[in-house]
Amino acid sequence: MLTIDKQGWVQSPLVHLMRRPNLQHGDMKQISGIIVHQTGASTAQSSLDSYLHTSANGAHFLIDKDGTIYQTGSVFWSQHHVGKLRSKCLSEHTCQPIDAKALAKMSPSKMNTSEMKKQVPDRYPSNQDAIGIELVGGTIGTGNDPVYETVTAEQNKSLAWLIGELRQNFGVPLNEIFRHPVVSRKDPHEAETARW
């Protein structure tokens, strides 16, 4: 089992620390969910390098194609990895009719503002309360509907282990773990072959 120190860094021989301070965008006081992403870049080094930029955005963990897990941000940091939230009740068809009608007319920014007034589980986990895990995997093809590389068996094995350990440490329910495009307006193919 992994342990987490007081600064939010994992202590495990299976997790390599690659601290990227530019990813911190405030403190994360509560962990309510986990969001699974997939990079647009086809190498871990490309993502790790991009996290060094002053205005970097990225997830707390990065899993390379060979299954190597890197921790790039403290689990107590809020990081910009989610984007504007979709309405959970609209996506799951559980809204009251009057709310569904109002939400359907909202711009993405207004919907996000409306959702952020709610708490998990009434909304999807956000930058403020979700751990992000990136899987290395570039896109294949061009155009408006790119397809991501298939997640490797090694990545899925590491992903399942990491999610299990994080769930145990923070009490995150299985139903609060999502692929990125479920919770935000991202490419629908992102992390579609991820398994946990």
Q: Is 60 left (phi over 0), alpha (psi -120 to 50) or beta?
A: alpha
Rounded to 5°, the CA angle 104-107-112 comes to 95
Q: What is the pLDDT of residue 166?
A: 98
According to the model, what pLDDT value does residue 152 have?
98
**DSSP for 84-147, written as a single string:** SBPPHHHHTT-S-HHHHHHHHT--HHHHHHHHTTS-TTSS---TTTEEEEEE---EES-SSS-E
Residues in the chain: 196
- pLDDT tens across the length of the chain (196 residues): 789 999 999 999 999 999 999 999 999 999 999 999 999 889 999 999 999 999 899 999 999 999 999 999 999 999 999 999 999 999 999 999 999 999 999 999 999 999 999 999 999 999 999 999 999 998 887 767 778 999 999 999 999 999 999 999 999 999 999 999 999 998 899 999 999 9
Residue 17, SS3 per DSSP: strand
- Closest C-alpha among 45, 47, 70, 50 to residue 60: 70
- Residue 134: what pLDDT? 98
Q: What is the pLDDT of residue 76?
A: 98
Instruction: Determine the pLDDT at residue 160.
Output: 98
**Ordered domains of the chain (ranges, CATH):** 3-83+124-183 (3.40.80.10), 86-119 (no CATH)
